[in-house]
Each structure stands twice: as structure tokens, then as C-alpha cells.
A and B are shown apart, each in its own frame.
Chain A
Amino acid sequence: MTRWRGIVVPLALLALAEVAFRTGGGTSDSLAPPSRAIAALWAVLTDGSLIVGTAQTLGTMLAGLALGGLGGLAAGIALGFSDLLRRFTFLTIEMLRPIPSVALLPLSLLVFGFGHRMEIAVIAFATFWPSLILTQSAVVQIEPRLIEVARMLRFTRLQIAWKIVLPAAAPRLMTALRLAAGLALVVAVTAEIVSNPQGLGHDLMIAQETLRPERMFAVLFWVGLLGWGKNAALLALERWLFACRGEVDTSIAT
């Protein structure tokens, strides 16, 4: 195991920052040394405030991801199968898709007010498109012979979707999920920074407004850790799901 080597650079950077801060002298209202950030992290962890923020951010992120991801999945399967549907919807999709999801924050705030609903709506919008596009392309790439095998066995459309399309597309769908989950976390924190007074993004704003940089670094570090943990969990899920398969799909080894 040589994975410990990865930790060397971050630790060295932290040490460097600490030394620079102490020799540079004095206190600052805009920056804080790592030692104070770590102490602040411990403080917000033990007083429960970070847990509350994390629960709010992760909760809205998961709810938005579930709505947008599953919606995109269903729409992607439908579009992957129907040329007619594709022709009717492509202009609509190409017009809606490029809208930056953050640009919808004011509208969502107007409609839903403060709280988790406005944030979930924007996350769902943001994750719907990559889920739709990647699912559609995964469905289009399914071996047509498999569909013929299913037709010869007279499976219904729903059975074909369940027994052939989903498992055949699963490796690509996992890639789509990883992408959408990353996007969901970005949009969640952005929404909380820009307009929604809850969650980790709001914690960052409070730290800024109360001139407590050590607290800001603590939350920043925590958000980074969450993103890393989320990715590791999804990769583990992917390995667990596909390890039992005989096939090894190296095309998506991202």
C-alpha cells in the first residue's frame, strides 16, 4: 500500500501555511492559520451546528438528485427509444438545457420562498439534463440484437426496460449518477451562499459576515471532505454492482 503518499502534499501545505502565518506575524481578519481552523472545526462539530448544516445540504442535495436524476432517467429511456419523441422535444431541450441552473435561483425563491423546496427545485433542474442526455445516449448504444432477443420472447416494453435496457446501460448510468451527484453538491452550496439561508453554504456566509475566517476554513474543509466521500462512496457502489459481472467495461474507467 502506497496510498499514504497522497497525504504528504496536503500536510506539507498545511504546515507551510501555519509557519508562514506565524512568522508573518500577528492576526488577520481575513485569514486564519490551520491550527485555528482545526480548532474551529472541532468547535462546530461538537456544538452540533455543522451537523445541522450538513444534514440540510445533504438532504436537499439527495432530494434534488433523486427528482432530477430519476426524471432524467425516465425521460432519457423514453427519448432513447422514440425517434418521434426526440423530434418533438429536441428544440425544447436544447433551449432549456443551457440555462445556468443558478440563474433560476431568483425564480425559485419567488415561487417557493426560503427553505429546502426552492433549493431542491434548482438541484433537480440542474441534474435533470445530464441525466437525460447520458441516459438517452446509453439507451441508443444498447446492442440492438438484445432488443430483438427480447422481442422474440414477446416481452412488454416495461419488461424490456427492466430486464434489458437498465442492466445493459447500467455502467454508463453510474457514470451519469457520479456526474449528477457532483453537480448537485455544487448547486446546493451555491444556492445556500446566494439566496437560501440554510446549510453549509449559509454557514460559509455567516463566517464571512462575522469576520471569522477560521470558521470559514473549517466549513470549506468539511465541504471538500463531503465531496470526496461522496465520490468514494459512488465508486465503491459501482465496483460492488459490477464486480460480479463477467464483463469489464473499461470504456468508462474515469
Chain B
Amino acid sequence: MSSGSAALEFEAVGLELGGRPIVQSIEFTVGHGEFVCVIGASGCGKTTLLRLLAGLLSPTTGRVRLGGRQVAGPSRDVAFVFQDYGRALLPWRTAAGNVSLALEAVGVPTAERAQRIAPLLAKVGLGDHAEKYPSQLSGGMQQRLQIARCLAQDPTVLLMDEPFGALDAMTRQSLQDEVLRIVAEQRATVLFVTHDLEEALYLGDRVIALYSNPGRMARVLDIPLPRPRNQLTTREHPEFLRLRRELFTVMEEIHA
């Protein structure tokens, strides 16, 4: 893939914080509309990669590019879905008000906001909860709300930091399918961080495994599983099982 067509690109990226290397020699590109999962043990700098792309951190060495342009700071083309949804939502605003925040940032006139908010909430299954406050929503609903707010800024790149890590298994599966459906509709590029090996295989077009301390590239796996994916058939697919075994071995090497 040539760098001209890459949605996002890491070129020999390293980051040190306080003299300690956090990530080293990170090198990969993600094409437009691609769904790439990053997996690794805690402390491998997965989240750091997202923060570098988001412009919340600057690399010490190398370059981070979005759509061919070097990242110099946050951009509204990039949306960040934080793991701790409870802290990322404004507790004094309703669900609709939280989505409105992104529209206010983009400069959507007040009169137009309501008609933009309703379909966004409907898209994440919160159509009937527009007037509820975050504290009145379950964890899964709060994360759906954060995703709706991110979609409201109409991003080309979605950065997702272990977004389902704190949710129960059933909620996690339904949210996985919703996210796949939504990003397919939006044709967004996704970099998705997780420590759940099966989640990475189920969602991704590719999986990047990282070594820990400091974070370095360990392995890049292509996931040639058919789409749309299905919680039963995809997870029973012989290729899924083969990849699962392969990735499991890689992860064991990493931990060793």
C-alpha cells in the first residue's frame, strides 16, 4: 500500500516519557475503510498509539500521519472512543445534550441540532433515551452514547481504546456487531485497541500484536474472514480457529 492512499501511517515511531521508552520502532499503515485491531499485554503502549494518532501526544522520533499529513494536534476528523465511558460523558447533560456537544464543536446551528441528534441516537439504539442523563443509563448504553457522540463529529478515523473492556459478555457481543455495522455504513477507518484476542480476530481486517516494555511490533496478521461477520458462524469458521491458535501462540511468546 503506498503512503498516498493510507488513512493513517506510523513511520519508525518512538515515544519516550520522562526518559523511559514507551513505544519503539512502530511501523505500519492502515488503508481507508480498514478495520485494524491492536493487541498486546497491558503496558505495551496500545493506548499510546491511539493518543499519538489523536494528537494528544507527540512522538519523540519518527512520524505519525493521517491522510498523508503529519499529526500536529487533535483534529475533528478523528474521533476517540475512550474506555472509561463513565468519565468521558458530561454528567450534567442528557444523552441528546452529550451528542449535541460534538455538533456544537462542528458549528451546527442550534435549530438543526435536534434533527441531527435523533438519527444518531437511533443508530446506536438509544432513540428512546434522548432525555436521560448518563447516570440513568447502563454501562453498555453509556458506551453507545459515547459512540453516537463520536459519530456526530462525522470522523473519517475512529480510534477505539478497549471500548468494551468493562462490559459484560452479551453486551460486548451486541456492541461488536453494532460497531461493525456502523463503520461499514460510515466507511470509517478504525484502529481498535483490545486485549481480547478473539475480539481482535472477530472485528479486524488485520491484527497487530505488540511486545511490551517498550511497545514494539511483534506480528501483523491478516484476517481474511468473510464479512458480514456473525457471532456464531465466524467464531466457528476453521480459519478463525486457525488464526486464534496462531495469535494465541504469538501472545504466549510475547508474555514469555
Residues of A in contact with B (beta carbons under 8 Å apart): 143, 145-146, 148-149, 151-155, 163-164, 167-168, 170, 245-247
Q: In the complex, how many angstroms separate the beta carbon of B47 from the nearest chain A beta carbon?
A: 12
Q: Is the CB of A246 within 8 A of B84?
A: no
A146-B87, A247-B92 are known; give 18 further A-B pairs, CB within 8 A: A145-B82, A146-B88, A148-B88, A151-B74, A152-B76, A152-B79, A152-B80, A153-B105, A154-B74, A154-B75, A164-B90, A167-B93, A168-B92, A245-B91, A246-B94, A246-B133, A246-B134, A247-B91
* A155 and B80 in contact, given A145-B88, A167-B92 (Cβ under 8 angstroms): no
Residues of A within 8 A of B153 (CB): 153
Q: Which chain B residue lies CB-closest to A245?
A: B92
* A153 and B76 in contact, given A246-B134, A246-B136, A247-B133 (Cβ under 8 angstroms): yes
* B56 interface residue per 8 A CB criterion: yes
Q: Is the CB of A167 within 8 A of B133?
A: no
Residues of B within 8 A of A247 (CB): 91-92, 133, 135
Q: Which chain B residue lies CB-closest to A241?
A: B92
Q: Is the CB of A152 within 8 A of B74?
A: yes
Q: Is the CB of B87 within 8 A of A145?
A: yes
Expressed in whole angstroms, the Cα–Cα distance for A155 and B102 within the complex equals 10
Q: Which chain A residue lies CB-closest to B152?
A: A153
Residues of B in contact with A (beta carbons under 8 Å apart): 54, 56, 74-76, 78-80, 82, 84, 87-88, 90-94, 101-102, 104-105, 132-136, 153
Residues of B within 8 A of A146 (CB): 87-88, 90
* A155 and B91 in contact, given A246-B136, A247-B133 (Cβ under 8 angstroms): no
Expressed in whole angstroms, the Cα–Cα distance for A146 and B88 within the complex equals 5
Q: Which chain B residue lies CB-closest to A153?
A: B105
Main secondary structure of the interface of A (DSSP, over half): helix
Residues of A within 8 A of B54 (CB): 152
Expressed in whole angstroms, the Cα–Cα distance for A95 and B39 within the complex equals 53
Residues of A within 8 A of B91 (CB): 245-247
Residues of B within 8 A of A155 (CB): 105
Q: Is the CB of B90 within 8 A of A148?
A: no
Q: Is the CB of B87 within 8 A of A143?
A: yes
Q: Is the CB of B92 within 8 A of A170?
A: yes
Q: Is the CB of B132 within 8 A of A246?
A: yes
Among A145, A163, A168, point to the contact of B104 (Cβ < 8 A).
Answer: A163
Expressed in whole angstroms, the Cα–Cα distance for A154 and B56 within the complex equals 11
Q: Residue among A146, A149, A154, A247 with the most chain B CB within 10 A?
A: A149
Q: In the complex, how many angstroms separate the beta carbon of B172 from the nearest chain A beta carbon?
A: 21
Expressed in whole angstroms, the Cα–Cα distance for A143 and B132 within the complex equals 21
- Could you list 17 examples of A-B contacts with CB < 8 Å? A143-B87, A145-B87, A148-B56, A148-B82, A149-B88, A151-B56, A152-B56, A152-B78, A153-B74, A153-B105, A154-B76, A155-B105, A168-B90, A245-B91, A245-B92, A245-B133, A246-B134
Closest 6 CB pairs between A and B? Answer: A246-B133, A153-B105, A145-B87, A246-B135, A247-B91, A167-B92
Residues of A within 8 A of B135 (CB): 246-247
Expressed in whole angstroms, the Cα–Cα distance for A145 and B88 within the complex equals 6
Expressed in whole angstroms, the Cα–Cα distance for A220 and B92 within the complex equals 41
Expressed in whole angstroms, the Cα–Cα distance for A163 and B100 within the complex equals 11
Expressed in whole angstroms, the Cα–Cα distance for A167 and B91 within the complex equals 9
